[in-house]
Every structure is written in structure tokens, then in C-alpha cells.
Structure 1
Amino acid sequence: MPKPSARTGRVTIVDVAQHAEVSTTAVSKVVRNAYGASPEMQAKVRKAIAELGYRPHAAARGLRGQTYSIGVMLPNIRNPFFADIIDGATEVLEDAGYQVLMGPGCNGEAEEARVTETMIDHSMDGVILIAPVSSRQHLEHVARSVPTVIVGRHGRSSSYDSVADDDLSGAALVVNHLADLGHRRIAHIEHLETDPDHIVEMPNAVRADGYRQAMRARRLDEHIDVASTTYTQEGGYLGAQQLLARLHQPTAIFAGADIVAMGALEAIAEAGLTVPGDIAVAGYDNTMFAGFAPVSLTTVDQRGRQMGSTAARLVLDRIAQPRRPASHMKLAPTLIARRTTAVLPH
């Protein structure tokens, strides 16, 4: 077996070519997914790459125009829904020969700018930004520098592609489900946005609007009740505490995300109440733990893996065709009814 280059200490394209008994041009074509490499040639080269542990030199590839790396910015690493998106994106990108590199935006515009600018400086071929809080102007600035896909934002731009859930109808699914079970005092825990510049584009704002519209459509205007907090477990806990302190407690709570619902369940249990006997709870996202038997959370499935795979395909399309018209995809959510919601006791 060939040894790594004595000069660099790493396996080179020459080593791979010698091991596979092909030309360096053939290896280069396979690494770049370029036209002209037969299936048999690809198999030989990929086998040699695996056996030698060859990794293309990112800096050198960047000088030739591609690094075969995609940057993914996510708000934080604690919300399990984002893991579903990343799983879907990674599966598509790895199959296409791309490496996924992640960076947390920490739910702040300055932090997001730092992460995205770093990705651009490292010559990544494209970026996927999950639920960014940055202004439209900044997102368009990023898109002018690198192929960009926005996940979770509802605003449209000709500069970047996007994929989002139909949060308006998703919220209506929850309200209608609870109303059909006999609930009237249906409250909502929302994520409070402080920047009016892009608040209407954020999924939490659209869900809150969808909640209000659905309540009015069911003629439950007088029972609209919102606790404004954050999309975190602590936020759900504090939001539920606010709602439970009302003179007329809600009989059902629509939490804007599963992670928020977990905090709400904690506050309800701490108050000595039962779910769904005393109060029903529904989340949003259909994260992995929502289906755990001890939790069995009613929630909305917004197809996180499909959202991620769609975003990955969009960014690959944008890399291949930089001048094509922007695509804006909207996925249809479904309600998953579980044990945390039930018919209102009389």
C-alpha cells in the first residue's frame, strides 16, 4: 500500500491514483463528481480513497473554485427539531460528495453575522441558514456572496431560496383539534420577537397569528390568551406559570414548539395538575421525544427531515445554476394526536 507523501505527511491524489491503478485525472474527476468517470472507474477510485483515508485538501480545492463543503447555521444546538433538519440535509449532501460544517448562531444577529462571514471566508460552496434572526438586508448580502438557502423564514427574496412549514395552517390544526375536543379556553405560548424589522417572517410569529385567526374562525375571540416568552424549555415553564395564574385558567395550552411544551408540562405537574385531565397540552415540531411513551405529546409534524433534504437540494441546484430564479418551498404540516390532549371533562 502506498505511504503518505513524505513532504506533506498526508495521502495525496497521486497515492490514490497509484493504489487504484488509474490516472490522477480520473481520481480528480471522481472527487469532483465531474462528467466522464464510468461507474467502474468511480468504484475503483472510491475504494482506494476509503482504503487510504484520502481527504481532498480544502484550501487547494477552494483555489480551483470549489471546496465541496456546505455551511449550516442553526440558532442553537439544544432544540432537537434542528437535529431533524440537519439529518435530512446531511443525507443529501453527503450523497453528493459534500461535507457539512455547522455553526451556532446563538439567536443573535451579531453572532449570525460572525458565523456566516466565517463560512464565506472559508470558501464554502453554499450555506443553509436555519431560522435566522438577521435582517432581510443581511441575508441578501450573504446570498450575494455565496449560494444561500433560508429554512423556516416566510419572507421571500429573489436573492436566495427558502423552505418553510405552512405555520399558519399548522396552528389552525392545533386550535381546531382542541376545539373539536370541547375546549374553549385555549391559550398559546409564543416566542416574543423584539425586532419589528422581520417579525412577520419568523415562524413563531406566523404560528401566533395562525392561533388568533383560528380562534376567531371558531368564534372563540373572547378566549384568546397569549403568554409571551421564549422558544425554550424554561420559556415554556414560565409561560405556563403565567397562564396558570390567570383568574380563569385555560383548559388547553398550545405551545409553539415541542421544547416549549416540555417546560409547560413541568409547570403543570408542579402545580399539582394532570395532563390531559385538568389541562390539555399540544406542541409543534414532532421531535423525537414527543413520541416517547412517557411523554406522548400531541404535536404538529412539520417534517423536519424533509425540510432539511429540500434545503440541501435547493443549495445544490443553486450551486449548479447560480442565475436560476429563486425557489420558495412550503411544506404542508399534519397533526399527530397523542395522549396529552383529550375530550374536555364536563
Structure 2
Amino acid sequence: MTRVTIADVALHAQVSRSAVSKVLRDAYGVSPSMRARVLAAIDELGYRPHVAARALRGHTSTLGVLLPDLRNPFFPDLVDGVVEEIAGTGYEVVISQGGRGPASESRAIHALIDQSVGGIVLVAPLSPQSDLEAIAATVPVVVLGRHDRSPRYDAVFDDDEVGAELVVEHLAGLGHRRIAHIAHRDSSRGEPATLLQAIRARAYERAMVRLGLGEHADIAWTTYTEEGGHKGVGELLSRPEPPTAIFAGADLAAIGALAALREAGLAVPDDVSVAGYDNSWLAALAHISLTSVDQSGVTMGRTAGRLLLERIGGRTASARISITPTLVPRRTTAAVS
């Protein structure tokens, strides 16, 4: 079988090659009837753009989505949102893994740029803002999960202050006073890896103080991973007054916390209540039933996809959009016994 070309589509639709090209680029100046004929011809002939050739001309039909890792159960929701938003535009998503450090992340970003992607959604990137702005000067960029303010790229993020407050208020409303928090710290720098983790930790502390529980505020600085959640519980249980409730900053950390509590012979929620953050598909599993903050990953992904398409379309003014989270109570939290 020979590859279907633009010339074949043009002949089948009885239009010029330039008209087909305009439809593929979603360019201005194409009538609805002509667009319909070209799209029908594309479907009937099974035409697929030649990505390599388009890349050589400075065009591409792919958009990059860079994830820190592929194991976080929340990230598929973000990708689903991006894919849903760009459906029907002629673009396809290419997923890449950035790794756990700025150096590996930079290599992955530039590998996407070398493939001439039309734009990139960076999920919770670790690179400094100056590096991200340099990247955004060469390709449209939307940063997802950081609270950055930049004239060069767009930002979509969860209102982490509201999310952390929802968890603390929920646990305090159940009668808990010793409410601890498992937070994320970059082991190489000894500080929160990104602003969102710092915001969640600070909001937790403020909520504890506001509710008159400041003296019981306790943070275990580990990582937003299963291992980090497991380690955090070990630290918290070694305190003179262990917590009766734990707010893990991510569902993955909460899963590790649940395992550590079970190994310690403690029942959830009878002995210790546990809440997570992300409301990933893991949290909703019947045998886990984890109370968690829902930051609507699909909505965040769709918003990022829309902003990226607008950037590709020529918008230069930066956008910064916050998504308001909600709390989803489940069986891992209960009144203090």
C-alpha cells in the first residue's frame, strides 16, 4: 500500500493542495463547505500527516506532556483531560518522563523540543522558573501544578491552600486534635520540591493554629511516594504523643501510610484516621476507600490543553488559572475514639 498524500486528498475533495493544507493547519480563510469536503476526503482515504516532513517545515501534529514519573495514579487524569481537550484538532499527545531531578527533566524537555512538538504541558516541573521561561521562548508551554507567575508561559494549578484547610477542618470536626501532616521535601536541597508542597504545608499549619490546635501541629518531611508515606508514619509514631489523624499530601503517600499503620498493628480509622490528596482512582477502590481532596485532574488537564492550543494559535498574554478543590470523605476517616 502506498501512503496517501495531500495531493490525493486534494484530488478526492476536488480542491487545491493549499486548501487541504489550510484545513490541516486550521488556518483562516477556509469555508465550512470546503472544510467539510476535505475532512470527508481525509476520513475516506485514511490520510495521516507525515510527521517527519512537517517537522522539517517547522510544523508538527504532536503535543508533548512531560510527567515527573509514570507511577503516580493522579497523572492519568491530567493526561485524559489534555487528550479530551485536543480531540478533533489533528494533534496527538506524546508522553515523556522527566525523572526526579532538574537535570533529567531538562534532557527530557529538550528531547521533546528536538522532535518539533507544537507545544508542551509540563506537569509539576522541578526546573527553576528562569529555565522554564527560556524553554517557553522557543515553544508554547503550559505549566500544570505550580503557582508560578510568568509572562512567558501559562499556569494551571489547584488551590492548595483551600485543599489543605478542607482536610484539617474535616479531621478537627471529627474531634481529632493531634493531626499530623506528611509533606514532601527535596532530599537534595532540603526544601519543598515545588511551591505547591510548601503551600500545602503552610496551609496545614495555619489551619491548625486557626482551629486552636497549633500546639499539636506536626510535620514529617519525607516524599509524596509510598515509601515517603511509610517513612512518615514511622517518624510520627515515634513521637511522645503520636497523632490520632494523619493528612498525607498525596494519595501515594497515604497508601504508604496505611501500610505502615497496618504493620504497626493499628487499625484505620479506629486507631488513626488517614486522609490523602488528589482523589486518584486508587483512593476510590472499595478496599482502600481513602478520604481525599479532589483537585479535578481531568478539569486541570482540559484547561491546560485549551491554554496550549490558544498559545499555539497566537495568544501571547499569559494566563494563570486556579482550580477549586473539594473534599471526598470515605472510610479512612472517622470520629476520634
Q: RMSD of the TM alignment (CA)?
A: 1.9
**Alignment partner, residue 71 of structure 1:** 64
User: Residue 109 of structure 1: CA displacement?
Assistant: 0.5
C-alpha contact 2:81 2:300 (8 A) present in aligned 1: yes
Q: Of 154, 157, 178, which aligns to 1:161? A: 154
C-alpha contact 1:164 1:329 (8 A) present in aligned 2: yes
**Alignment partner, residue 208 of structure 2:** 215
Percentage of matched positions with identical amino acids: 53
CA distance in 1 between partners of 2:55 and 2:191 (Å): 34
**Corresponding residue SS for 2:137:** helix
CA distance in 2 between partners of 1:126 and 1:162 (Å): 14
Spell out the pairing of 1:30-179 with structure 2 (5 A cutoff): 30-179=23-172
**Corresponding residue SS for 1:80:** coil
User: Residue 155 of structure 1: CA displacement?
Assistant: 2.2
TM-score normalized by structure 1?
0.91
**Alignment partner, residue 343 of structure 1:** 335
CA distance in 1 between partners of 2:16 and 2:137 (Å): 37
C-alpha contact 2:184 2:192 (8 A) present in aligned 1: no
User: Residue 19 of structure 1: CA displacement?
Assistant: 3.9
Cα gap change, 1:21 to 1:325, in 2 (>3 Å): closer
**Alignment partner, residue 7 of structure 1:** none
C-alpha contact 1:155 1:201 (8 A) present in aligned 2: no
CA distance in 2 between partners of 1:78 and 1:54 (Å): 35
Spell out the pairing of 1:197-212 with structure 2 (5 A cutoff): 199=192, 201-212=194-205
The gaps in structure 2 that reach 5 residues or longer are none
CA distance in 2 between partners of 1:47 and 1:321 (Å): 28
**Alignment partner, residue 279 of structure 2:** 286
Cα gap change, 1:237 to 1:197, in 2 (>3 Å): closer
C-alpha contact 1:200 1:206 (8 A) present in aligned 2: no
One-letter amino acid matched to 1:307: M
C-alpha contact 1:69 1:100 (8 A) present in aligned 2: yes
C-alpha contact 2:140 2:311 (8 A) present in aligned 1: yes
One-letter amino acid matched to 1:132: P
Spell out the pairing of 1:280-319 with structure 2 (5 A cutoff): 280-319=273-312
Q: How many residue pairs are counted as aligned between the two chains?
A: 337
User: Residue 43 of structure 1: CA displacement?
Assistant: 3.9
CA distance in 2 between partners of 1:156 and 1:229 (Å): 27
**Corresponding residue SS for 2:83:** helix
User: Residue 205 of structure 1: CA displacement?
Assistant: 1.6
Matched, 1:277 2:247: no
C-alpha contact 2:222 2:232 (8 A) present in aligned 1: yes
C-alpha offsets along residues 43-77 of structure 1, whole Å, 9 cap, x if unaligned? 44334333433221223323444213211111000
**Corresponding residue SS for 1:210:** helix
User: Residue 194 of structure 1: CA displacement?
Assistant: 4.5
C-alpha contact 1:131 1:202 (8 A) present in aligned 2: no
User: Residue 234 of structure 1: CA displacement?
Assistant: 1.6
C-alpha offsets along residues 270-329 of structure 1, whole Å, 9 cap, x if unaligned? 11211111110000001112112211111101111111111111111112224x321111
C-alpha offsets along residues 75-114 of structure 1, whole Å, 9 cap, x if unaligned? 0000011111111011112332211111100121011111
**Alignment partner, residue 21 of structure 2:** 28
C-alpha contact 2:156 2:304 (8 A) present in aligned 1: yes
Matched, 1:330 2:322: yes
CA distance in 2 between partners of 1:287 and 1:42 (Å): 40
Q: Of 205, 213, 234, which aligns to 1:241? A: 234
CA distance in 2 between partners of 1:34 and 1:318 (Å): 15
TM-score normalized by structure 2?
0.94
Moved more, 183-192 or 220-229: 220-229
C-alpha contact 2:229 2:255 (8 A) present in aligned 1: yes
User: Residue 38 of structure 1: CA displacement?
Assistant: 4.1
**Alignment partner, residue 228 of structure 1:** 221
User: Residue 20 of structure 1: CA displacement?
Assistant: 4.0
**Corresponding residue SS for 2:121:** strand
One-letter amino acid matched to 1:337: P
CA distance in 2 between partners of 1:106 and 1:256 (Å): 20
One-letter amino acid matched to 1:143: A
Cα gap change, 1:221 to 1:197, in 2 (>3 Å): closer
Moved more, 27-36 or 219-228: 27-36
User: Residue 202 of structure 1: CA displacement?
Assistant: 2.4
